[in-house]
Structure 1
Amino acid sequence: MKVTGYRSLTTAHDWGRPIGDANGVMPGPHTDVHVLILETDGGLEGVGLGAHGDIDRVFGAVEGEDPRAVPALYDRMIDRVFKTGHSGATFGAIGAIDMALWDLKAKAAGEPLWRTLGGRDRFVPGYASGLDIALDDDALVGLYERFADRGFSAGKLKGGRDLGHDLRRLEALRDVLGRNSAHPALMFDANESWNRSQAVRFVSALERVVDLAWIEEPVRRWDAAGLAAVRRGIRAGVATGENLTGLEQYRPLLDADAVDVVQVGNVWGITHFLRVAAVAHGRDLPVSPVAYHANPVAHAAVAVPNHLAFEVQDLSAPIGLEVDQEFQDGGIVLGDEPGLGIRVDEEHIRAVRAADPPAATAGPHVRPGRAGLRLVPDGPRPDGAQPVGAHRDSAYQDDAHRDGRAGVPARSR
């Protein structure tokens, strides 16, 4: 069996609600989902998910090769771009190909990938996470009640802009998940929107009221000293790693003793997850995958000894994809369909795509200009008025950089 070519499709996920984080909110309830299909001369096809715009830089490393040699082909792709670098979009393409190769390997064996990887149990412990910063209180409770109906007793909120607002929502989440546990696990994600002193102040204030299992990405992903400082200043654990693209990017954080929960993005592939999990295990640290559509890395999570919990962001699949998994007992129950268990209806995807334009690139994917530089939180003013800049991407007037007072917070004038 040899890899002969590939096809790319773009479908969408309909969240049915606003989604976003401290950096912004998507302009609509849809997000793009990129699908890669690897073709072989034996008729089998492998499915990978995630943006892969740089695929032509690395596809030559797998073309004509037996797809079952996945780890070797992964290294071959990395080596193909070793001079120019493999981060960013290139690492995304490597991840999508890697997923498709593992899908092919398991399909060739006639078994689900979790079996191929040595998993003993098809159940993947998880936690609920709704990309929920734009939801009002009632919608937030309604969303997590649906997760609670599936047995979830752990959940993660997006926040970091308004302390009072976030405290109220964390207490509501605790009450909802309390249906399934006397001590539900609460996590909080700031999405790199703070500096280290902001993070310690904000989290310390939260911890006076609620018990947090971890704070996620309190500062920039590469800031080993900052993450270590936050870790020393709070009770909660520090979780990070979803945006790191390669083992070498984890090394400074691990050496600085800056991480309690090592996270891995689904979109970076199966092999990357397995290697990060092994490195984390060598330091007695747990690993936790950050969710992506169809949760492909869940198949690998059951095969490592230090998997903690898998993020579940939604209970439905993208348009045109059928996924052989269920959500029960607070986690993911993997099925028996060979490979990743993802079926792609290409005709349906093309028909829907033709009638619906691509989703806009905005919201949480674009970092605000003043992220990490706010002196005053974005909560409501004592007079009840909207904070300055409430309808922009930060709490600062854009014209501060045009009227001779660049860098001066609008509310401190």
Structure 2
Amino acid sequence: MNVLILGAGGREHALAWKIKQSPECGSLFIAPGNAGTATEGTNIELSLSDFSAIGDFVLKNDIDLVVVGPEAPLVDGFRDYMEGDNRFSGVGVIGPGKTGAILEGSKDFSKGFMERNGVPAASSRTFTAIEIEQAEAYVRQHSLPVVLKADGLAAGKGVIISPDHEDALSNLKDMLVGERFGEASAKVVIEQYLDGIELSVFVLTDGEAYKILPAAKDYKRIGEGDTGPNTGGMGAVSPVPFANEEFMRKVEEKVIRPTISGLKAEGIPYTGFIFFGLMNVDGEPYVIEYNVRMGDPETQVVLPRISSDLLKLLKAAADGELASAIIETSPEVASTVVLVSGGYPGPYQKGKQITGLDAVPQGPVVFHAGTRVKDEHVLTSGGRVMAMTGLGKSMQAALKQSYEAANAVSWEGITYRKDIGKDLEAFSG
């Protein structure tokens, strides 16, 4: 089976790493990929917005399955493009069409979807720039802290939690009038703050059946102790100690099933991953957000814990045969620590030479994200540069591997959090 993965981050390297392990995998291509994916398959210089060029590549290389990593091509209608041309009738696609991708593409739509389908979530209202006065009045009487969310895609950075009303009003104006997140904040969702602990739950679905993947907890803020601005993710662990059997039963009953049945009831076909960003509030799950793809860096801890053949699972989903598929999960703990460029998530420099990759001890897996190769040297090319994933019988053992790998490599300005998993020690014993 020839496979094309679309994307260039750590998630896509993890997908390539896992798919390559399948005996069903023939030629594996990643577009555009990074320095790490080049060791798993063949990187192809394709723009993720150039659907025509991607389609031509699919035909010329007899691609059987396209796995879409990031959200933007899905929101822009990649699946719709493929389904609209009978030349691609035999090609499977993992990822929903535009009508499904709007679950992530519009926070306002997803909040309405949750309400219509009885999915537990924080109360909220949505405003546009012409409603700035009403929005400000709503903020002034809102309970604290105030959660502000850009409606559209903002690379995981479109959520602001304001501790007081003045800060909320300033951020609201900056988002709606100042266009801090561009078109993504043309609408802003003002949301109730949920006091709990976050986790991520993932399913793979063919629109009818679904398989629940290992849960994970990621760490969004740049600073230790969850301080500083949000990032795309600074680390993750799986499993999640507090996501016990009873809690996951509630997640399936109150969140997953109503979501899958809601998609069917609203006539939204869906094949691919659904990422449930959840808050555990006193043992009850609430949905913070939907994503229509795997998370990053959660993928780097979820996939190493899946014992099953991932490619077979993806093909079963693409063929509408997921009900008969079996997913097996390792009991081991996985952790990942993300190494980032100095200055991230603000302005940062690219092109820094990475040293020490050959000194990473055996055991941990290095998943590349913002890297490229030039003159046989691996250079930084993004904010999040790589993720170091450890696997062990305990969280401490897994984290030991992750940090040994992190300590082995270096480049000018390298930064990473030293406290991944620390907040879970009380749960894990």
Q: Does TM-score exceed 0.5, indicating one fold?
A: no
Structure whose residues are more often strand by fraction: 2
- Which structure is higher in RCO with an 8 Å CA cutoff and minimum separation 6? 1
TM-score (norm 1): 0.29
TM-score, normalised by the number of residues in structure 2: 0.28
